[in-house]
A and B are shown apart, each in its own frame.
Chain A
Amino acid sequence: MCGIAGILNFNEKRADPVLLARMAERIRHRGPDDFGIYTDKQMGLAHTRLSIIDLGAGQQPMHNEDKSLSITFNGEIFNYLELRRDLVRKGHKFRTRSDTEVILRLYEEKGEECVQDLNGQWAFAIWDSKRERLFLSRDRLGVRPLFYTVAEGAFVFGSEIKSIFALPNISREIDPVALDQIFTFWVSISPRTIFKNILELPPGHSLTVHRKQVAAQQYWHLDYAEGSKNVGNAAAHEEQYVGELLDLLIDATRIRLRSDVPVGAYVSGGLDSSLVTALAKKFCNSPLKTFSITFDDAEFDESSYQNEVIHFLETDHQEVRCSYEDISHVFPAVIWHTEKPILRTAPAPLYILSGLVQEHGYKVVLTGEGADEMFGGYDIFKEAKIRRFCAAHPQSTTRPLLFRRLYPYQQYLQGQSDAYLRAFFQVWPDELKSDFFSHLPRWELTSKLKLFFSEEIKSQVRSHDGYADLRSTLPPSYSVWDGFCQAQYLETAHLLPGYILSSQGDRVAMAHSVEGRFPFLDYRVVEFAAGIPPHLKMKVLNEKYLLKRCADGLVPPSTRNRPKQPYRAPDGKSFFQGSQLEYVDALLSADRIQQDGLFDSLAVKSLVQKFRQGRAIGVRDNMALIGILSTQLVVEQFVRNCGGKPFYAEHRAGTAPVCR
């Protein structure tokens, strides 16, 4: 795993190696093992390497024999051995054992269509000097990041935005529309980022730059046509689905163990990571190394479930305990890595966890990410199902009792009277017709946070319609898909890359030079899952039913049968324990809020007061605090200062979090 960056000057000016080195330096955490720069006339490529495959060779940027093609690549191509074999058969000669060279040869063979053959997680750029054409690509689901901008007569790209900001004269300005989207959907809608004029290459897209023309094309998209066709199909052969899925998962895991360094696994205590660990174990001769987070706060701690899994699977286990103080302590660093506002602190413990992995000398971990999206694990799917069921018979007094089955971990919700529960989950007349039915309650709740926006921001986004933005990105067939599939699509196409795989995934893992690998996101698994009838994913209200069938006998029965508990961490409370935190006080002060101009200083003051008095316990207040604080940290670390030394480095109190 690595970091990539590059500059393509539109005039004849030679790319400046000093600037390329500066860009690479900013993302050195992604690849501390090696470093390379290549310039060819107006094109400059940079690479920071985390050596995982072919440790001795495989340096980048890499070239073909006549140096007409050069590549800088971040990621892994898991089927590279099979692709290599085919290419050798066609006469290609290889100089290394690396997957990087496989991409290069495949590009020679097939051109830009080469991405269709890749099974993996990637962001790469190939400079085709004969054709003066730059080709960039990002994996199907958006595991690896890639950002770009056109500025100062050049096309500039990098694995992280901070590498682009290493260049002089790149404007660093918050985009109010992106802020509005994040305070609605939890993510900005790709290609938009929180910074004006900085774009990301959306998942499943490639991009070419040729003589000032920048063009992105989608090469893959999620398609739920078959799954929708199979809705309620009683003849759908459950046993056959279980068998085929298990075979696919075994193979997806097997090829994700390809590495010249040892591979570990995260264990959350839930079904998904346990199943991945169980499958990986089949291919390991020695006990698999596993890692987990535990929490001081019992509300979030899953250590008893984790212990069952590690004993059952006999892994060699390490854990790190996370306190409120640990979260507030690392939070500025976490935002330096996420490079965007977030509404939850959940990435912070994962940042600490990757530190533990690094401390134990590991560079690669398998995780269970993606299973909830592909196989229907989230409560949002269940909520939509129950709300539809209730709306079909609005007079029923028994149907709303099912709302008690939702969000069992939210104690305040569980304590409500039937009348309030009905009211919270009620279906408004227009909602049933909406193609966003499943997600409207979440988005409407999140949108309430906009009351904290300053008058200026409110007026700038007033005429903006986030739902219309989102609608414009939907595939043409979306409207005819089954509602369950539509909900899955919204989670997979937006929240997964925009938050789960980035803020909670790549960024906080790569912060400590750790690469995540995700068997559930093997595109064969994703495409297979999309075709499974929804009633087999969630059987009545039994979430991930088919996946649980696959896990029978492989994971402890208690893991298989426990209710789904989403991974969460303590939010606002983390920042108001014990002594006041200097950076929190500074960034949320009335002066600073007014200067930065994004939020209303009186409203923020009132919110902070509520937290200080211990009265802020709700989801909405917590999202507001984390959203505002993280936005202020983005402004502080990227807009106000974007020097080589991040803000958090100066504000670190004491030592780094201790791994216990």
Chain B
Amino acid sequence: MQNIEQELRRFVVDNFLFGQANGHLSNSDSFLDKGIIDSTGVLELVVFLEETYRIKIQDRELVPDNLDSINNLVRFLERKRQLTA
């Protein structure tokens, strides 16, 4: 899980913050509240998750509860893996 968390963090920092996080992004920070993600950002995130973790994300799963922080993402991926396991 440690690995996944780091991968996700790197993706968010590189892709949405262009390396400018300066240690200000915690695992529980909401991407929406911090203004990190916009409507295309959600799509970019989904493409990354699907390609990196070889999962298929359903439309009904595109909600902040699953995608809006590093913690939420880790939990979401964990659930997806259990489902496919």
A interface vs B, CB < 8 Å? 410, 412-413, 415-417, 419-420, 423-424, 444-445, 448, 451-452, 600, 602-604, 606-607, 610, 615, 617-621
List, sorted by A's number, 9 A–B pairs whose CB atoms are closer than 8 Å.
Answer: A412-B42, A419-B64, A420-B39, A420-B62, A423-B32, A452-B20, A603-B18, A618-B38, A621-B40
Q: A423 contacts B64, CB within 8 Å?
A: yes
Judged by a CB distance under 8 angstroms, whether B60 is at the interface is yes
- Do A417 and B41 form a contact, CB below 8 Å, given A444-B35, A607-B18? no
Tell me the nearest residue of chain A to B40, going by C-beta: A618
Tell me the nearest residue of chain A to B41, going by C-beta: A618
B66 to chain A, nearest CB (A): 10
Alpha-carbon distance A416/B59, docked complex (angstroms): 9
Q: B18 contacts A412, CB within 8 Å?
A: no
Judged by a CB distance under 8 angstroms, whether B43 is at the interface is yes
Q: B39 contacts A416, CB within 8 Å?
A: yes
Alpha-carbon distance A485/B73, docked complex (angstroms): 42
Q: A619 contacts B42, CB within 8 Å?
A: no
What 0/1 pattern do residues 19 to 49 of B give for CB contact below 8 A with A? 1100000000000100100111111100000
Q: List 20 additional contacts besides A412-B39, A415-B39, A419-B64; criterion CB under 8 Å.
A: A410-B39, A412-B40, A413-B39, A416-B42, A419-B65, A420-B62, A420-B63, A420-B64, A424-B32, A448-B35, A451-B20, A600-B18, A602-B19, A603-B20, A615-B15, A615-B44, A618-B39, A619-B38, A619-B40, A620-B38
Judged by a CB distance under 8 angstroms, whether B55 is at the interface is no
One of B20, B62, B68 near A416 (C-beta < 8 A): B62
Residues of A within 8 A of B14 (CB): 606
Alpha-carbon distance A417/B38, docked complex (angstroms): 13
- Do A606 and B43 form a contact, CB below 8 Å, given A420-B63, A448-B35? no
A411 to chain B, nearest CB (A): 9
B64 to chain A, nearest CB (A): 6
Residues of A within 8 A of B40 (CB): 412, 617-621
Tell me the nearest residue of chain B to A452, going by C-beta: B18
Tell me the nearest residue of chain B to A448, going by C-beta: B35
Judged by a CB distance under 8 angstroms, whether B4 is at the interface is no
Per the CB 8 Å criterion, the residue count for chain B at the interface is 22
Q: A445 contacts B38, CB within 8 Å?
A: yes
One of B17, B19, B60 near A417 (C-beta < 8 A): B60
**Do most interface residues of chain B lie in helix, strand or loop, or is the interface mixed?**
helix
Residues of A within 8 A of B18 (CB): 451-452, 600, 602-604, 606-607
Residues of A within 8 A of B42 (CB): 412, 416, 420
Residues of A within 8 A of B39 (CB): 410, 412-413, 415-416, 420, 424, 618
Q: A617 contacts B44, CB within 8 Å?
A: yes
B70 to chain A, nearest CB (A): 17
Q: B35 contacts A445, CB within 8 Å?
A: yes
What 0/1 pattern do residues 50 to 63 of B give for CB contact below 8 A with A? 00000000011011
**Do most interface residues of chain A lie in helix, strand or loop, or is the interface mixed?**
helix
Tell me the nearest residue of chain A to B21, going by C-beta: A451
Of the listed residues B14, B19, B68, the one surrounded by the most CB atoms of chain A closer than 10 A to its CB is B19
Of the listed residues B18, B19, B20, B35, the one surrounded by the most CB atoms of chain A closer than 10 A to its CB is B18
Alpha-carbon distance A619/B65, docked complex (angstroms): 24
Residues of B within 8 A of A606 (CB): 14, 18-19
Q: B44 contacts A618, CB within 8 Å?
A: yes
Residues of A within 8 A of B17 (CB): 451
B42 to chain A, nearest CB (A): 6
Residues of A within 8 A of B15 (CB): 610, 615
Alpha-carbon distance A452/B68, docked complex (angstroms): 23
Q: B43 contacts A412, CB within 8 Å?
A: yes
Alpha-carbon distance A308/B77, docked complex (angstroms): 51
Alpha-carbon distance A423/B19, docked complex (angstroms): 25
Alpha-carbon distance A615/B65, docked complex (angstroms): 25
Tell me the nearest residue of chain B to A615, going by C-beta: B44
- Do A617 and B43 form a contact, CB below 8 Å, given A420-B62, A610-B15? yes
B82 to chain A, nearest CB (A): 22
Q: B35 contacts A417, CB within 8 Å?
A: no
Residues of B within 8 A of A423 (CB): 32, 64, 68
Alpha-carbon distance A423/B65, docked complex (angstroms): 11
- Do A419 and B19 form a contact, CB below 8 Å, given A618-B40, A619-B40? no
Tell me the nearest residue of chain B to A603, going by C-beta: B18
Q: A417 contacts B63, CB within 8 Å?
A: yes
A448 to chain B, nearest CB (A): 6
B34 to chain A, nearest CB (A): 10
Alpha-carbon distance A606/B17, docked complex (angstroms): 9
| A-B residue pairs, 10 tightest by C-beta | A618-B40, A603-B18, A419-B63, A413-B39, A606-B18, A412-B40, A417-B62, A451-B20, A412-B39, A423-B32
Residues of B within 8 A of A619 (CB): 38, 40
B52 to chain A, nearest CB (A): 13
Alpha-carbon distance A451/B35, docked complex (angstroms): 12
B22 to chain A, nearest CB (A): 10
Alpha-carbon distance A412/B40, docked complex (angstroms): 6
B56 to chain A, nearest CB (A): 16
Alpha-carbon distance A415/B44, docked complex (angstroms): 13
Residues of B within 8 A of A416 (CB): 39, 42, 62
Alpha-carbon distance A417/B40, docked complex (angstroms): 13
Residues of B within 8 A of A445 (CB): 35, 38
